[in-house]
């Protein structure tokens, strides 16, 4: 555990600083070029030597549907769903095509992007040498009281964009050596993303698509993403609906909907297994953020994953919870987690038989 703590401290700190710089200066496209640099530590360095381009035999899932024209049709289906918006479990029913905002705050059918750049703080198999080509999308349908990106998700920090520009961003990220296109909080922009993907595929995009979501996804929408998304990267935040309702703006349905969503994601892409060079190209990668006072129901969650999914399902047990945004209004989540709280979750995950754990650490866990 201590060895992991030391290795991860360096890369997390680096990532945090780069991210802050990018957001503060709103210079994402310029940063794209300046952030190209070798990986800095641990196993990432071992990956770095061989991992600057997709494997020659790799073909992303969406290419087939692009060639048949179905990608365009799926984008159109999602677009029409915005007329009476049901893109997410809030099911607001507002007409986004006429510019109406729903709960997520997305300005109708307009896309808002906060930043796009290679990200070196994501999971090791997504980062390699070139970084994960991360596109941070503005607004959010979940609105957690402890959100670490609250300026983007809840205040709407970002710049208006469109599918053509989004396609250009993807191509640029590919050109500079990123290993994937990583859409952060994509749910409310699914239609625009697919339109952009269709444009980018025509112009030569060949990177896998990472769907980096809260996990709170409707099955009807996920089925429209089948054969398009290569890597699902869902959070699994809460086991208990009282907790999700309390801390994520009344989202009582979060645990049940997310459990079903994760099963569907697994059905589509299977267990995440890296290619020979260590880079992930396809599969399900679950993230769970351990919260203070067992707010997330972590141990039950680990048992459920082990029971319903293969034991080698990738599970990232995240330790970096920080009481940000409105978390200080809730005393039970107004601190970081303790060493014991984190260890308990990891121990439980091992006890129930999970074998593909991404275990992190930070200096404060050593107290
Ligand atoms: S995507 Fe936004 S507008 Fe559509 S249902 Fe969800 S919260 Fe409502």
Give the residue among 208, 188, 213, 181 at the shortest CA–CA distance from 112.
188
- Atom index in ligand 1 nearest the CA of residue 91 equals 5
> In the prediction, which pLDDT does 25 show?
35
Displacement of CA 209 from its chain's centroid (Å): 11
Residue minimizing CA distance to atom 1 of ligand 1: 188
For residue 264, report the phi and psi dihedrals to the nearest 5 degrees: -65, -40
Residue minimizing CA distance to atom 2 of ligand 1: 104
If you average pLDDT over residues 103-130, what whole number do you get?
97
Those residues whose C-beta lies under 8 Å from the C-beta of residue 82, and which sit 6 or more positions away, are 95, 96, 97, 109, 191
Between the CA of 189 and the centroid of ligand 1 the distance, in Å, is 9
Asked whether residue 30 carries a pLDDT value surpassing 90, the answer given is no
Between the CA of 259 and the centroid of ligand 1 the distance, in Å, is 20
Yes or no: say if 171 and 203 are a contact pair by the CB < 8 Å rule.
yes
pLDDT in tens, 288-306: 999 999 999 999 999 999 9
> In the prediction, which pLDDT does 236 show?
98
Asked whether residue 29 carries a pLDDT value surpassing 60, the answer given is no
* Three-state secondary-structure class, residue 213: strand
> In the prediction, which pLDDT does 364 show?
60
* Three-state secondary-structure class, residue 128: coil
Please name the residue ranges forming H helices in 102-189: 124-127, 150-153, 163-175
Residue minimizing CA distance to atom 5 of ligand 1: 91
Asked whether residue 367 carries a pLDDT value surpassing 90, the answer given is no
In eight-state DSSP terms, residue 320 is -
Those residues whose C-beta lies under 8 Å from the C-beta of residue 23, and which sit 6 or more positions away, are 114, 115, 151, 152, 157
Confidence of residue 5 (pLDDT cuts 50, 70, 90): very low
Residue minimizing CA distance to atom 4 of ligand 1: 85
Confidence of residue 47 (pLDDT cuts 50, 70, 90): very low
Structure tokens at 319: 């330790």
> In the prediction, which pLDDT does 52 show?
45
Confidence of residue 362 (pLDDT cuts 50, 70, 90): low
> In the prediction, which pLDDT does 55 show?
61
Can you point out the beta strands (E) in 76-124? 111-119
- Atom index in ligand 1 nearest the CA of residue 82 equals 4
pLDDT in tens, 169-186: 999 999 999 999 999 999
pLDDT in tens, 62-113: 999 999 999 999 999 999 999 999 999 999 999 999 999 999 999 999 999 9
Between the CA of 113 and the centroid of ligand 1 the distance, in Å, is 17
> In the prediction, which pLDDT does 266 show?
98
Yes or no: say if 22 and 14 are a contact pair by the CB < 8 Å rule.
no
Block residue for tokens 């289906």: 77
pLDDT in tens, 325-353: 999 999 999 999 999 999 999 999 999 99
Confidence of residue 56 (pLDDT cuts 50, 70, 90): low
The lowest-confidence range among 47-61, 79-93, 108-122 is: 47-61
> In the prediction, which pLDDT does 57 show?
79
If you average pLDDT over residues 7-15, what whole number do you get?
42
Asked whether residue 276 carries a pLDDT value surpassing 80, the answer given is yes
Cα distance between residue 333 and residue 325, in whole Å: 11
Task: Name the percent of the chain lying above pLDDT 90.
Answer: 82
Residues with CB under 6 A from ligand 1: 85-88, 90-92, 94, 96, 102-104, 106, 141, 188
Mean pLDDT of the chain: 88
Yes or no: say if 95 and 84 are a contact pair by the CB < 8 Å rule.
yes
Is the whole model's pTM more than 0.75, yes or no? Answer: yes
Between the CA of 105 and the centroid of ligand 1 the distance, in Å, is 8
Between the CA of 363 and the centroid of ligand 1 the distance, in Å, is 39
- What domains lie within the chain, and their CATH numbers? 2-366 (3.20.20.70)
Between the CA of 89 and the centroid of ligand 1 the distance, in Å, is 8
Between the CA of 112 and the centroid of ligand 1 the distance, in Å, is 14
Give the residue among 184, 218, 183 at the shortest CA–CA distance from 90.
218
> In the prediction, which pLDDT does 360 show?
82
Beta bridge partners of 2: none
Cα distance between residue 246 and residue 142, in whole Å: 11
- Atom index in ligand 1 nearest the CA of residue 85 equals 4
> In the prediction, which pLDDT does 13 show?
44
């Amino acid at each position: 555990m201590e060895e992991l703590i030391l290795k991860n401290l360096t890369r997390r700190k680096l990532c945090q600083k780069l991210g802050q710089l990018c957001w503060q200066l709103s210079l994402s496209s310029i940063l794209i070029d300046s952030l190209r640099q070798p990986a800095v530590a641990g196993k990432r360095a071992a990956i770095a030597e061989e991992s600057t381009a997709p494997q020659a035999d790799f073909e992303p899932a969406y290419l087939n549907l692009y060639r048949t024209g179905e990608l365009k049709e799926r984008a159109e289906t999602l677009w029409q769903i915005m007329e009476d918006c049901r893109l997410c479990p809030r099911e607001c029913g507002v007409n986004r095509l006429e510019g109406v905002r729903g709960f997520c705050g997305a300005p109708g059918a307009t896309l808002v992007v906060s930043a796009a750049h290679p990200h070196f703080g994501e999971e090791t198999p997504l980062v390699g040498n070139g970084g994960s080509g991360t596109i941070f999308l503005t607004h959010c349908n979940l609105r957690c009281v402890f959100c670490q990106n609250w300026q983007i998700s809840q205040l709407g920090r970002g710049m208006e964009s469109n599918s053509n520009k989004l396609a250009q961003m993807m191509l640029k990220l590919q050109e500079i050596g990123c290993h994937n296109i990583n859409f952060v909080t994509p749910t409310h922009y699914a239609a625009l993303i697919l339109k952009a993907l269709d444009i980018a595929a025509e112009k030569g995009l060949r990177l896998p698509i990472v769907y980096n979501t809260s996990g709170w996804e409707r099955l009807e929408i996920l089925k429209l993403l089948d054969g398009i998304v290569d890597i699902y990267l869902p959070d699994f935040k809460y086991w208990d609906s009282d907790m999700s309702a309390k801390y994520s703006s009344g989202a009582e349905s979060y645990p049940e909907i997310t459990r079903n969503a994760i099963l569907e994601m697994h059905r589509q892409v299977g267990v995440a297994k890296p290619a020979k060079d260590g880079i992930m190209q396809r599969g399900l990668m679950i993230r769970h953020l351990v919260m203070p006072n067992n707010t997330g129901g972590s141990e039950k969650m680990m048992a459920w994953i082990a029971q319903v999914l293969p034991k080698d399902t990738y599970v990232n047990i995240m330790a970096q919870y920080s009481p940000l945004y409105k978390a200080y209004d809730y005393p039970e989540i107004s601190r970081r987690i303790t060493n014991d709280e984190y260890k308990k979750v990891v121990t439980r995950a091992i006890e129930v038989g999970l074998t593909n754990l991404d275990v992190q650490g930070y200096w404060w866990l050593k107290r």
